[in-house]
Amino acid sequence: MKLYNFIPYFYLFIAALFIYDGITKYLNSQDYYLNIAVAAVAIFMFFFRKKYAKKMEDHHKNKQQ
């Protein structure tokens, strides 16, 4: 279950990579829209997975009581 605590941060790492790539493409006058869109989805997934992990943790605590 500890793996669920690290997965959301993987999405932040992916978002940072795509933001960096998007900025470099923007500065080189290339098409960067897809990179920024993927970064936005990764940031959304970070918050979604973080909330889901908290919900699962609370569920397991309530189940054990």
Q: Helices 3-27 and 33-64, interaxial angle, to 10°? A: 170
pLDDT of 1 reads: 60
The whole-angstrom distance between residue 4's C-alpha and the CA centroid of its chain comes to 13
pTM of the shown model: 0.80
pLDDT of 16 reads: 97
Regions of the chain where pLDDT drops below 70: 1, 4, 65
Q: What are the residues whose beta carbons fall under 8 Å from the beta carbon of 39, sequence distance 6 or more?
A: 14, 15, 16, 18, 19, 22
Are 51 and 7 contacting, i.e. CB atoms less than 8 angstroms apart? no
Nearest to 44 by CA among 19, 8, 17: 8
